[in-house]
Amino acid sequence: MCKRCKTKPVIKLSSGENLCKGCFLNYFEKKVRKTIRVHKLIGKKENLLVAVSGGKDSISVLEVLLGIYKGNKNIKVSALLIDEGIKGYREYCIKKTEEYCKKNKVKLNIVSFNKEFGFTLDKIVKGRRPCSVCGVLRRSLLNTKARELGATKLVTGHNLDDEAQTIIMNQFRRNMDASSRLGPLTGNENNNDFVRRIKPLYFMPEKETMTYAFLKNLTHDFNECPYNIDSYRNQIREMLNKFEELYPGTKYSIVSSFMEILPLLKKKEKVAKIKKCKICFEPSSSEICQKCKILNEIKSSKH
């Protein structure tokens, strides 16, 4: 029975508490509000741009934000979708996102690899590691477009599971520099070249986000990108899921203890001098940015 209103439960939280549909939706939205408030993710006046993929996380974060800031003229919410050109996968996500945004009157901006770079991911993927290429190009596009669109914050749908996996991966690979760039709010308020990123679902486990998306009828599409073959992350995910089952609350402990040391990591972070890329003039820690290095390599190999 739901502990709060004594009706049929739909979920058992990692705390052991059972909740019915209504109580769960309230609990979910309240917890996201708390993350936003405690970690000062959103100010009084913002132009929020939600990076949407059509998947459950990004649509859920968009849905919660629309609910929280409904009628607030100082907080604008719009969406940005990157079409990498992944046949049989991305088309469906685009269709779903378009339908959602139309229904909820959200301005949706779509940017494609094909238009921006002259190729689709499918076309250049052979012989390369898809996620490495895709990740760098996506990140770069998200930042450039967010800046062009005048966004004050770029919102992503990363959840507790994503973050716990990344923390452990960085730890196992001794990559503390990468960890120092994690957290619910990243970027520097004094650097206008980078649009700051926020993760309102930071403390929401994947299971809860999935339940939220399902109960709100946001998406039935839980399929994955065909290139999602990052076996290292998948192994870490499986390991954490096993631990979570045996010891509920493990993922939360990883993330919350990480939050305690994050300020120290940020202080220690190598302060690489940010230069401008010689080719595209975007901020970069080296003479030529990662994106331009990848684009040059692709150009010289003629795909």
Scanning 62-70, 131-139, 164-172, 181-189 for contacts with ligand SF4 by CB under 6 A, the matching segment is: 131-139
Q: Is 135 in the site for ligand SF4 (CB under 6 A)?
A: yes
Which of the ranges 19-27, 55-63, 65-73, 220-228 carries the binding residues for ligand SF4, by CB under 6 A? Answer: 220-228
Residue 215 interacts with ligand SF4 (CB under 6 A): yes or no: no
Among Zn ion, ligand SF4, none, partner that 131 touches (CB below 5 to 8 angstroms by kind) = ligand SF4
Binding mask 65-94 for ligand SF4 (x = CB under 6 A): -------------------x----------
- Per-residue contact string for residues 225-244; x = within reach of ligand SF4 by CB under 6 A: x-xx----------------
SS (H, E, C) the chain: CCCCCCCCCCEECCCCCEECHHHHHHHHHHHHHHHHHHCCCCCCCEEEEEEECCCHHHHHHHHHHHHHCCCCCCEEEEEEEEECCCCCCHHHHHHHHHHHHHHCCCCEEEEEHHHHHCCCHHHHCCCCCHHHHHHHHHHHHHHHHHHHCCCCEEECCCCHHHHHHHHHHHHHCCCHHHHCCCCCEECCCCCCCCCEEECCCCCCCHHHHHHHHHHCCCCCCCCCCCCCCCHHHHHHHHHHHHHHHHCCCHHHHHHHHHHHHHHHHHHHCCCCCCEECCCCCCEECCCCCHHHHHHHHHHHCCC
The partner in contact with residue 10, picked from ligand SF4, Zn ion, none with C-beta cut-offs of 5 to 8 angstroms by kind, is none
Considering only residues 131, 240, 279, 280, which one is a binding residue for ligand SF4 as defined by CB under 6 A? 131
Report the partner that residue 55 touches, choosing among Zn ion, ligand SF4, none (CB closer than 5 to 8 A by kind).
none
